[in-house]
Structure 1
Amino acid sequence: MTDRRILSWTPAAVVFDCDGTLMDTEIHWQDARVRVLDEYGSTPAPTFAERAKGLHYTECGRLMATEAGRPELAAEMTGKLLAHFVDLVTGAPVTMPGACELVADAATFAPLAVASNCPREVVESCLGTAGLRSHFAHIVVPDDEIRPKPQPDVYLTAARLCGADPAETLAVEDSHVGILAAQRAGLRVLGVGPRPGESTLELVDLWVRSLAEPEVRDWAGARIPAQASG
């Protein structure tokens, strides 16, 4: 259910997804997946891109191996996927519309973190190239103890590191997998991107097409402390 009352609320912390939310990297993931599948003589089904969106890259590697009919090559295909993606994204990093402005504004009134399914070095590189890294106190990615989205671990950890109760923390997300993780962690959710299906809309507090939407800009701008805006 979409509840516009979120626009009158000030979160204790804000946690951003990276891929597709802060950085326009989904096209790079798509290209990397196609490259790998092509190397194994496989053409992805029309529904493949949507099924793969937001998955941890190791899960995506397993999905690709299954799609290619070669499940035993999951680890090999995962390695190639990551290598292709890193090559593509470091060559052409692009921020999503409104992302830089929202991050800069939000950093004046709340601690910020990134919760991503990407490897840490990829997130660090993207944020650094975009000039956003200094705004984030914490970057949380899956490891041996933190499970990837759609499990809630990255969001629970990010809220804790920011010193905020999950219920008082805002997640900014673009994928169903990430939104499900944030919702399971008890965060309120701002969804962004092309309007999704109802099953995704039911999980968010508000959906906007872009972080550059006037209502998002006005919401953040109204919360900037006077000394920061002067």
Structure 2
Amino acid sequence: MTTKAHPLLTWTPEAVVFDCDGTLMDTERHWQDARRRVFLDFGLTPLPGFAERAKGVHYTDCGRLMAEEAQKPELADSMAEELLTHFMARVAEDPVTVPGAAEFVRLVSGRLPLAVASNCPMETVESSLGHAGLLGHFAHIVVPSDTRTAEADENSDEEAPWVVRPKPWPDVYATAARLCGVLPDQALGIEDSLTGVESARRAGLRVLGVGPRPGEREAARADLWVTSLDTPVLLAWVRARVPERAELDLRE
């Protein structure tokens, strides 16, 4: 089936919730560089395939994963802190948007309420989007709370009122949809990682995957997968199905 005939493109969302890293901002290479530097700093070597396993994972969970794979679990907190420090330095040096992302955001922001649901700290998301000139298009930004200071019930998919858990938990997407004033199934989530796709799906959003297409089984977890957000059929879908609105309550 071609994207022109895809059922998702016969539907009109009431809001759009974007991932940030790898979807809006070209920062996955910064995460990769930061992970590499942390392993070097600690004199450790990652196992083969680590980069793919770490993609889209919250930095505290990534620190724990790095430490576990290096068989040094006691270093988890230290590695997570250093990972974030290296990453934020790289983002400040080189904030670059993913090709096609800025065009798509600017097109949709005049038509629907937009939000960001990210596993990154708020400071990182705001700084990245601000440097790219995109921050003002988003009414809400949702990031995980500090999961080290509050415990969530890991046996439940329900969003705990005292903590917003990182992806792949559904909390960031469920919260973003609610803040946009829509039910989850009325919102479209846009993601580049399978971790993020799982989060949006569990929250009840329809999901558009973007970027290099994974294997067929993995890609099927999204409703539709496109190589970039400036895919002509995607832009045509927005223009045809989502009317422009005069004003939106945007973030200052």
8 Å CA contact 1:58–1:78 kept in 2: the answer is yes
Counterpart residue type for residue 139 of structure 1: I
The residue that corresponds to 1:147 in the other structure is: 165
Q: What is the alpha-carbon distance in structure 2 between the residues aligned to residue 65 and residue 55 of structure 1?
A: 14
Unmatched runs of 5 consecutive residues or more in structure 2: 151-162, 247-252
Counterpart residue type for residue 172 of structure 1: I
Given candidates 169, 185, 190, the residue that maps to 1:172 is 190
Q: Counterpart of 2:22 in 1: which secondary structure?
A: coil
The residue that corresponds to 1:38 in the other structure is: 40
Counterpart residue type for residue 11 of structure 2: W
After superposition, the CA RMSD in angstroms is: 1.6
- Give the number of aligned pairs: 228
Pair 1:159-2:159 in alignment? no
* Alpha-carbon displacement from aligned partner over 1:137-175 (angstroms, at most 9, x marks no partner): 000000151010000000000000000110110000000
Q: What is the alpha-carbon distance in structure 1 between the residues aligned to residue 11 and residue 91 of structure 2?
A: 35
Q: What is the alpha-carbon distance in structure 2 between the residues aligned to residue 222 and residue 39 of structure 1?
A: 52
Worse-superposed segment, 208-217 or 81-90: 208-217
Given candidates 227, 230, 239, the residue that maps to 1:221 is 239
What is the correspondence of 1:1-230 to structure 2 with a 5 Å cutoff?
4-143=6-145, 144=150, 145-223=163-241, 225=243
1:40–1:226 distance in 2 versus 1, CA, 3 Å: closer
Q: Which has the higher contact order (CA 8 A, sep 6+)?
A: 1
Worse-superposed segment, 128-137 or 210-219: 210-219
8 Å CA contact 1:139–1:158 kept in 2: the answer is yes
Q: TM-score, normalised by structure 1?
A: 0.95
Worse-superposed segment, 116-125 or 6-15: 6-15
1:38–1:215 distance in 2 versus 1, CA, 3 Å: same
By how many angstroms is 1:224 displaced? 5.5
Worse-superposed segment, 103-112 or 81-90: 103-112
Counterpart residue type for residue 90 of structure 2: L
Q: TM-score, normalised by structure 2?
A: 0.87
**Structure with greater helix percent:** 1
8 Å CA contact 1:114–1:140 kept in 2: the answer is yes
8 Å CA contact 1:159–1:169 kept in 2: the answer is yes
8 Å CA contact 1:12–1:110 kept in 2: the answer is yes
Identical residues among aligned pairs (%): 63
Unmatched runs of 5 consecutive residues or more in structure 1: none
Q: What is the alpha-carbon distance in structure 1 between the residues aligned to residue 20 and residue 141 of structure 2?
A: 10
Q: What is the alpha-carbon distance in structure 2 between the residues aligned to residue 220 and residue 91 of structure 1?
A: 33
Q: What is the alpha-carbon distance in structure 2 between the residues aligned to residue 206 and residue 220 of structure 1?
A: 15
8 Å CA contact 1:188–1:205 kept in 2: the answer is yes
* Alpha-carbon displacement from aligned partner over 1:115-147 (angstroms, at most 9, x marks no partner): 000000000000000100001000000015101
Q: What is the alpha-carbon distance in structure 2 between the residues aligned to residue 207 and residue 181 of structure 1?
A: 16
1:134–1:227 distance in 2 versus 1, CA, 3 Å: closer
